[in-house]
Amino acid sequence: MNTVISVKIDEDVKASAKEVANSAGLTLSTLVNAYLRQVSATRRIDLYAPEPMTPKLEKLIAEVEKSIQAGNVSKPFDNAADFVADLES
């Protein structure tokens, strides 16, 4: 027997979750049902909410990407000894 639950969520979160569900060929209801079944079966709640990047982090990443594009990076090394030798040269 099915039952109905009502939850209040942010419109943007709903739209984003619906998009993810649709891309997997699922409805939002099916996605929520699957997650609740997983919680029931595993007795675990796994949540992941990435932290938004700060302006400082965005600036650092932009600087690193600029350095990479300019070729200002070291070559790859197969072992630590080669890396240390390159540092010392």
Spans of all domains in the chain = 1-49, 55-88
Q: Are 21 and 28 in contact (CB under 8 A)?
A: yes
- pLDDT digit string, tens, across residues 22-37: 999 999 999 999 999 9
The CA distances from residue 36 to 19, 47, 84, 89, in Å, are 19, 12, 51, 58
Amino acid at 58: E
**51's tokens:** 């932290």
Confidence tier at 77 by pLDDT (50, 70, 90): very high
Which tokens belong to 57?
Answer: 């982090």
- Residues 36-63 pLDDT 10s: 999 999 999 998 888 888 999 999 999 9
> Against a cut of 0.75, is the pTM above it?
no
- At residue 75 the predicted structure's pLDDT band, cuts being 50, 70 and 90, is confident
